[in-house]
Amino acid sequence: MVSIVLASHGDLAAGIKQTGSMVFGDQPSVAVVSLEPSMGPDDFRAKVEEAIASFEDQEQVLFLVDLWGGTPFNQISGLIEGHDSWAIVTGVNLPMLIEAYSQRFDAKNTAHAIAKHLVTEAKAGVRVKPESLEPEEKKPAAAAAAPAGAIPPGTVIGDGHIKIAHVRIDTRLLHGQVATTWTKQINPNRIIVVSDGVAHDELRKTMIEQAAPPGVHANVVPIKKMAEVVKDTRFGDTKAMLLFENPQDLLKAIEAGVDIKEVNIGSMAHSKGKVVVTNAVAMGDDDVKTIEALKAKGVKFEVRKVPSDSSEDLDAMLKKAKAELAAQA
């Protein structure tokens, strides 16, 4: 695995690493080196050398640095002389770091290959809203309107069956962890939020549709509509990730005919009447009963925020929730 050094003036690198962990989970072989006001160039260089020495793989090292020509860049630039497999990319930002983490999953990727890829990815992460402020060459091309009735009902596309690649319960629905880590892991061409409430909330619906990562469509549909979609032969080429706001909506979807056997629980937010069982999951009485009903239907669960996390023990979480809910009754 390619090792990564995040280097910057002040605490920028440390902050980006912390934020990256919130989105992608804690990552191995990542070091932070910060240039503090009291440090000289030689002090900084020594810290970089110390960081590199901590890596198991020192052959492939990627440096993500804040500023071309600054002290961090200059000192690292001197260090990479004689290390032909190392690479530096400046202008570090969060999209760049997340993409670097993702690219490291491919064991064949080198520091040079990832660096070359990151230049494009980091630039793509700089966007403007309203989009009218984008330079002309960066404005997304308007999609051509599909002619009405272009795909008549009954048309069979592909094998005529939608592919549900991943199902997740997440109070926040489509956010950074989903749009980056899970999307890259699952590689869907469509993200579908299944929720009666969100489907009738135009503001939330619009925000979700706009949050879709590049190359992926995002839709918000009521539960009844999702039950129709899984039977619609026009979705045969669709590889979908389904997002549910809570286990209750998931149970309704299954009872309506959506065939779901495996579910990832990412987050269930705390609210009045619920107890906190992990740092990402809170449950109330109805949540416990609903999850147990889903398990009785043969649904298998894993509890993890990002793909790199280990799954937590749902049975232990349910037991803890029951005990704490009983204690506060």
Q: Is 83 a catalytic residue?
A: no
d(CA 31, CA 29): 7
- Annotated catalytic residue: which of 112, 117, 161, 175? 175
- Annotated catalytic residue: which of 9, 83, 117, 161? 9
CA dist list (Å): 145 to 131, 136, 142, 149, 155? 19, 21, 9, 12, 19
Q: Is 175 a catalytic residue?
A: yes
| Catalytic residue set | 9, 175
